[in-house]
Amino acid sequence: MTATVAAPETPAVRRVPVVRGYRFELVKLLTQWRVRVLIIACWLAPALFVAVVSQQASLPVDTLFGRWMHSTGWAGPLVLLGFSGSWALPLLTSLIAGDVFAAEDRLGTWRHLLVAVRSPRRIFVAKALSSLTVIVVLVIGLVVSSTVSGLLVVGNRQLIGLDGHLLSPGNAAGTVFLAWLCALAPTLALAAIGLLGSVALGRSPMGLLLPAVVALAMQIVQQLPVPVAFRLALPGYAFISWNGLFTSPAQLGPLLIGVIVSLAWTLVATGLAYFLFVRRDFTNPTHDGSGRLALTAGLLPLVVLLGVTTAAVAPVTGFGSGIDQDKVQRAVAVEFAHLYRLQTKQLNRADVTEEQLQAAAECTKGGDQVAARGPGNDWRCVVSWHIPGVAAAGSAIYQLDINPLGRYVADGDGPKEVNGFFLVRTPSGDEPNPLWQFDGNIELLPVNPKG
Amino acid sequence: MDAPPTVRARDLAKYFGEVVALDGVDLDVAPGQIHGLVGPNGAGKTTLLGLLLGLAVPDRGTLEILGTPVGRALAVPEGVAGFVDGPGLYPSMTARQNLAALAALRGDTTLDIDDAIDQVGLTDVADDRVRGFSLGMRQRLGLAAALLTKPRLLILDEPSNGLDPAGKKHVYGVLTRLAANGTAVMLSSHRMDDVEALCSEVTILSTGRVAFSGPISKLASENSELDYRVRTSDPAAARRHAADARGIRLRDQDAIQDAAQDPVQHAVQDGVEVLVISASVPALDEFVKRLVGDDIAVRELAPVVSPLEAAFLALTEQQETN
What's the whole-number mean pLDDT along residues A322-332?
93
What's the whole-number mean pLDDT along residues A23-36?
94
The tens digit of pLDDT for each residue in A131-153 reads: 999 999 999 999 999 999 999 99
Q: Closest chain A residue to B145 measured between Cα atoms? A: A112
Which residues lie closer than 8 Å to B155 by C-beta, 6 or more apart?
B49, B52, B53, B80, B81, B82, B83, B84, B186, B187
Prediction pTM value: 0.83
Nearest-angstrom CA–CA distance, A420 and A433: 9
Give residue A362's identity as a one-letter amino acid code. Answer: E
Give residue A251's identity as a one-letter amino acid code. Answer: Q
The tens digit of pLDDT for each residue in B41-99 reads: 888 998 999 999 988 889 999 999 998 888 777 777 888 999 988 888 999 999 999 99
Nearest-angstrom CA–CA distance, A280 and A315: 40
Task: Please tell me the distance in Å from A5's CA to the nearest CA on chain B.
Answer: 6
The verdict on ipTM greater than 0.90 is no
Task: Give contacts of A122 with chain B, Cβ < 8 Å.
Answer: none
- Chain A residues contacting B, CB < 8 Å? 1-8, 10-17, 20-21, 23-24, 27-28, 31-33, 107-120, 281-285
List phi, psi (to 5°) of B251: -70, 145
Task: Please tell me the distance in Å from A285's CA to the nearest CA on chain B.
Answer: 9
- Identity of the residue in B1, B33, B75 whose CB atom sits nearest the CB atom of A7: B1
* Beta-bridge mates of residue B202: B36, B214
- Name the nearest CA neighbour of A152 among A241, A54, A289, A287: A54
Residue A124 has pLDDT above 50, yes or no: yes
Task: Please tell me the distance in Å from A29's CA to the nearest CA on chain B.
Answer: 9
Task: Please tell me the distance in Å from A120's CA to the nearest CA on chain B.
Answer: 9
- Name the nearest CA neighbour of A122 among A194, A269, A20: A20
pLDDT for position A4 = 45
CA-CA-CA-CA torsion sign (A163, A164, A169, A170): negative
- Name the nearest CA neighbour of A112 among B82, B194, B46, B206: B82
Round the average pLDDT of chain A to a whole number and report it.
Answer: 88
Task: Please tell me the distance in Å from B180's CA to the nearest CA on chain A.
Answer: 6
pLDDT for position A286 = 59
Task: Give contacts of A25 with chain B, Cβ < 8 Å.
Answer: none
- Name the nearest CA neighbour of B286 among B243, B247, B250: B247
- Identity of the residue in B31, B32, B105 whose CB atom sits nearest the CB atom of A21: B105
pLDDT for position A135 = 96
- Residue B184 CA, distance from chain mean position: 15
A266 close to A185: Cβ distance less than 8 angstroms: yes
Q: How many beta-carbon pairs under 8 angstroms link A with B?
A: 140
Contact between chains at B67 and A10 (C-beta distance less than 8 A): yes
* Range from A207-211, A364-368, A375-379 that averages highest in pLDDT: A375-379
Task: Please tell me the distance in Å from B50's CA to the nearest CA on chain A.
Answer: 7
Contact between chains at B107 and A20 (C-beta distance less than 8 A): yes
Which residues lie closer than 8 Å to B112 by C-beta, 6 or more apart?
B148
Residue A130 has pLDDT above 90, yes or no: yes
Number of neighbours of residue A174 by Cβ within 10 angstroms? 13
pLDDT for position A349 = 84
- Identity of the residue in A28, A108, A281 whose CB atom sits nearest the CB atom of B85: A108
Which residues lie closer than 8 Å to B310 by C-beta, 6 or more apart?
B223, B226, B227, B303, B304
- Name the nearest CA neighbour of B280 among B237, B238, B223: B223
pLDDT for position A448 = 66
Question: Which CATH architecture fits B223-321?
Answer: 2-Layer Sandwich (3.30)
Contact between chains at A13 and B86 (C-beta distance less than 8 A): no
Contact between chains at B2 and A4 (C-beta distance less than 8 A): yes
Cis peptide before A415 (omega within 30 of 0): yes
Domain locations along chain A: 18-282+290-317, 325-441
Query: Could you tell me the pLDDT band of residue B292, with boundaries at 50, 70 and 90?
Result: very high
Nearest-angstrom CA–CA distance, A315 and B172: 73
Contact between chains at A112 and B93 (C-beta distance less than 8 A): no
Task: Give contacts of A13 with chain B, Cβ < 8 Å.
Answer: 68, 75-78
3-state SS of A355-395? HHHCCEEEEEEHHHCCCCECCEEEEEEEEEECCCCCCCCEE
- Give A337 or A282, the one with higher predicted confidence: A337
Residue A92 has pLDDT above 90, yes or no: yes
Beta strands across the sheet bearing A437-441: A360-365, A376-385, A394-402, A407-414, A437-441
Contact between chains at A3 and B179 (C-beta distance less than 8 A): yes
Residue B260 has pLDDT above 50, yes or no: no
CA dihedral A183, A184, A188, A193 (to 10 degrees): 30
Residue A414 has pLDDT above 80, yes or no: no
Task: Give contacts of A37 with chain B, Cβ < 8 Å.
Answer: none
Task: Give contacts of B175 with chain A, Cβ < 8 Å.
Answer: none
Q: What is the DSSP secondary structure assignment for residue B94, as one 8-state letter?
A: B
The tens digit of pLDDT for each residue in A156-198 reads: 999 999 999 999 999 999 999 999 999 999 999 999 999 998 8
Give residue A13's identity as a one-letter amino acid code. Answer: V
List phi, psi (to 5°) of A251: -85, 80
Contact between chains at A2 and B76 (C-beta distance less than 8 A): no
Give residue B118's identity as a one-letter amino acid code. Answer: D
Residues in chain A: 451
Q: Is B106 at the interface with chain A, CB within 8 A?
A: yes
Query: Could you tell me the pLDDT band of residue A72, with boundaries at 50, 70 and 90?
Result: very high
* Beta-bridge mates of residue B249: B278
Which residues lie closer than 8 Å to A401 by C-beta, 6 or more apart?
A376, A377, A379, A408, A409, A411
Of the candidate ranges A203-217, A298-312, B57-71, B231-245, the one whose mean pLDDT is the lowest: A203-217
The residue of A10, A34, A37, A104 whose CB has the most chain B CBs within 10 angstroms, and thus the best one to mutate to test that interface, is: A10
In which residue ranges of chain B is CATH 3.40.50.300 found?
7-221
What's the whole-number mean pLDDT along residues A234-251?
92
Q: Closest chain A residue to B86 measured between Cα atoms? A: A108
The tens digit of pLDDT for each residue in B202-236 reads: 999 988 999 889 988 787 666 677 788 899 988 88
Q: Which helix (H) or strand (E) holds B190?
A: none
- Identity of the residue in B2, B67, B97 whose CB atom sits nearest the CB atom of A31: B97
What's the whole-number mean pLDDT along residues A426-433?
78
Q: Which CATH class is domain B7-221?
A: alpha beta
Range 139-168 of B in CB contact (< 8 A) with A? 145, 152
Beta strands across the sheet bearing B19-29: B19-29, B7-16, B60-65, B68-69
Q: Is B68 at the interface with chain A, CB within 8 A?
A: yes
Range 263-282 of B in CB contact (< 8 A) with A? none
Percent of chain B with pLDDT over 70: 89
- Give B192 or A10, the one with higher predicted confidence: B192
A251 close to A244: Cβ distance less than 8 angstroms: yes
Task: Give contacts of B131 with chain A, Cβ < 8 Å.
Answer: none
A432 close to A71: Cβ distance less than 8 angstroms: yes
pLDDT for position A451 = 41
B53 close to B63: Cβ distance less than 8 angstroms: no
Nearest-angstrom CA–CA distance, A88 and A266: 19
* Helix, strand or coil, per DSSP, at residue B157: strand
Query: Could you tell me the pLDDT band of residue A111, with boundaries at 50, 70 and 90?
Result: confident
To 5 degrees, how large is the angle CA B90–CA B96–CA B100? 80
DSSP code string of B27-42 = EEE-TT-EEEEE-STT
Query: Could you tell me the pLDDT band of residue A298, with boundaries at 50, 70 and 90?
Result: confident
Percent of chain A with pLDDT over 90: 56
In which residue ranges of chain B is CATH 3.30.70.250 found?
223-321
Nearest-angstrom CA–CA distance, B298 and A66: 96
Round the average pLDDT of chain B to a whole number and report it.
Answer: 85
- Identity of the residue in A2, A11, A17 whose CB atom sits nearest the CB atom of B200: A2
Number of neighbours of residue A302 by Cβ within 10 angstroms? 18
Contact between chains at B32 and A111 (C-beta distance less than 8 A): no
Percent of chain A with pLDDT over 70: 93
